[in-house]
A and B are shown apart, each in its own frame.
Chain A
Amino acid sequence: MTEKKKGKLTKVLDYLKHDDPFSKGVSFCPGCSLELLLRFIPQVLGNDIVITGTPSCSAPVLLGQNNQSWHTLSYFGTLMTGAAANATGLVRYYKKAGIKNTVVCFNGDGTAADIGFGNLSGAAERNEPFIYICYDNEGYMNTGIQKSGTTPFGASTTTTPFGSASKGKNLRRMNLGLKMAMSKIPYAATATLSDLDDLAKKLLKAKEAKKRGFAFLHVFAPCPTGWGYATENTIEVCRRAVKTNYFPLWEAVNGKIRMTKTVKKPQPVSTYTELIKKFAHLNEADLKILQDDIDYEYCMLGGLSVLEGECQLPVSSED
């Protein structure tokens, strides 16, 4: 390890001002990005958050069993259909009762982009004062690797399997982060686990922003079990997703988009897909479609980031 790398690591640790409320051993798959993310959030935001979660990969650890729990946070196991509405109910009551709170509505992409998108959108429209985090593992990993709205083009899943008449998912992915950034909310951002200082800053910004309303974080969270890559490669997959602009890091404060990490020489998407089995069947022409989709999304992001002006937000909910 070089001195420089050590310095960087220390910088991240500086953000971890609170205890890790989770048990030392938890029942996630080996190499799961979710474990790092879940342990990270309360260490940055504090142990007094109320965290909500749905049936999903996070559920076995987040929601506990009977009267046993893997952690000491206040939590609420919600429905996938109504996760953001549940968080809404909590913050509205806390507001009425004058109880200071940081509610983190923590959901996978199946909830955020698919079955629970309606109430996510509704909560954003009403500018509800909580932090919504989508950990995006690009499909329904917990139920056995099915396609979701954020599953990328070409990915083989158990409902878009690669076969003689199929190339995997024959649709482009939903860009959930940009959709939310367009919702005129105080804060929207993307993050991933190869850039933990960026993630930590964004968590704190989200906490600050929720004083003015809805904050949304879209966190790229790869899954070794569902995607088919070596368990030690989780962070490398995140890193390459950023370096290829497959998952660019940006934030939108009051709707004003800016890149938080600019990749000077983006690498071709094949340097990312080559690590992952769910893309293994794609030929050059297929990869071109995926590359074009990424380029298009990045182009759109670039265009939006040069726009002047911010959205005018309503009066703070905590004023």
Chain B
Amino acid sequence: MKPKADVKTKAGSQIKVITGNAAAAIGAKLARPDVVAAYPITPQTEIIEQISKFHADGEMDCELITVEGENSAMNAVMAASLAGGRVFTASSSWGLVFMYDAILATAGARAPVVMVNVNRETPGIIAVSSGQQDMISTRDAGWIFLIAEDCQEVLDLVLQAYRLAEDYDIQVPVMVHYDGFYLSYLSEGVNVPLQEDVDRFLSVLNDQPQRTRLLPGGKLGCGTHGILGGYLELRYKHVSALERSKAKFEEIDKEFHQIFGRSYGGQIEEYRMDDADVVLVGSGSMCGTIKAVIDEKREAGVKAGLLKIRMYRPFPSEAMVAALAGKKAIGVVDRSLCFGFKGGPIYTELKSLEIQLGGSKMISFIDGIANTDITKANVEQMIDTTCDLAAGKDVREVTWVSYPEAREPDSEKTGGL
């Protein structure tokens, strides 16, 4: 896990042992937002507590709005963003979906909001536990979604998110996701950058044209009725901006590396992919475990690799095709469900690239739901099954790894639950 041994700590920057939530709060503080909206929800609460403490101690010069609900948190930061401010908020699960209409409006208004979502299961079944279902519940809102693997990446992605969201050519809100419980409360060493370096990294935005701002007497309207062609124009521009954000994110990753000495590879991270025959596609905190198992499998002569998704929206189709084309078999690990489909959401989306991938076989693994640990044994099972698929054996399309009772979702049974 990071910080990697080869990372040079810049003079003055410190390695601190902190939680993922603390890393997010420090990232937000370093970005110097004008307005922060705070509302508690497990497992995100620690972020807004820390920001409130920074604010109370005079370390953070922002307007802190202690809203009466998440819906207001998103509405407040959207408006502050449209007025010209840099903003931050954070939420999770039930809170995220309580923001839903405002999340859609924020994207539609192209307000460059940056927020953190600490992944947790959504309402439906009360589960105070990790899972990416909240992310999936909001994926079609038109935001850019980034996913962190560890606490260092949480901090770094928050900083990169501002560069992406507020870039004059992008102007799309960005949500940084990381796994609740696994990362939110995990303490590990994090290299906390110097304020002056963060200022320099973000100063690129100051050199860009001023984005449109809603100001008193400015004779500007935000949120008109988009009708017919007007609606189409805005939607087309939004989709185009999302496409542009892919290359922009790669650029930002390179610039980040120049200043901070850390690089993540942009939209995706490839781990031992070059000569891999079988690949697991994953995201978030599971990737550390997957990398460890891959190392062991490599020792045993299995050519396995990992493709880690860092940018989930827009979907990094081109980068994934380039990395995966020609692989014998691909196992996609989803920590969420895609209701209406048997396989997980990322699996279902990757299947749409089947032709471009040139015949790579694919299977779906559903694991890590509601805090079921994605253990090394689970990952081994996934790699073995993917190898079986590569070898032409008959394997099930969808495996609920931690729920062996599940066969294919049952279409035969009738009556009752």
Interface residues of chain A, those whose CB is within 8 Å of chain B, are 47-50, 52, 59-60, 63-69, 72-79, 81-90, 92-97, 99-102, 118-119, 121-122, 125-126
Contact = CB atoms under 8 A, between A and B. Distances in A.
A74 B67 contact: no
B112 to A, nearest CB: 13
Contact of B219 (A72, A118, A126): A72
A97 B85 contact: yes
B307 to A, nearest CB: 38
Given A76-B214, A77-B223, A90 B102 contact: no
Contact of A63 (B68, B73, B214, B221): B221
Given A89-B35, A89-B77, A94-B83, A81 B217 contact: no
A28 to B, nearest CB: 15
Interface of B: 34-35, 37, 62-63, 65-69, 71-85, 87, 101-102, 105, 214-227, 229-231
Contacts of B224: 63-69, 77
29 contacts: A48-B217, A50-B214, A52-B79, A59-B225, A60-B225, A65-B224, A66-B227, A66-B229, A67-B224, A74-B215, A74-B216, A75-B221, A76-B222, A81-B71, A81-B75, A82-B76, A83-B75, A85-B75, A89-B75, A89-B79, A89-B85, A90-B214, A92-B65, A93-B34, A93-B85, A95-B63, A97-B83, A119-B68, A122-B72
Main SS class of interface, B: mixed
Nearest to A49: B216
B79 A125 contact: no
A159 B133 CA distance: 36
Contacts, number: 161
Contact of A89 (B76, B101, B216, B221): B76
B105 A79 contact: yes
Contacts of B215: 50, 74, 99
A68 B80 CA distance: 24
A78 B79 contact: yes
B143 to A, nearest CB: 16
Given A122-B72, A125-B68, A74 B105 contact: no
Contact of A79 (B68, B75, B214, B225): B75
Contacts of A90: 79-80, 82-83, 214
Contact of B217 (A63, A74, A92): A74
Contacts of B218: 74
A76 B223 CA distance: 6
A18 to B, nearest CB: 11
A64 B225 CA distance: 6
B78 to A, nearest CB: 6
Interface centre among B34, B74, B217 (most CB of A within 10 A): B217
Given A64-B225, A93-B35, A96-B85, A101 B216 contact: yes
A66 B230 contact: yes
Contacts of A68: 224
Nearest to B225: A65
Contacts of A75: 221-222
Contacts of B105: 78-79
Contacts of B84: 93, 97
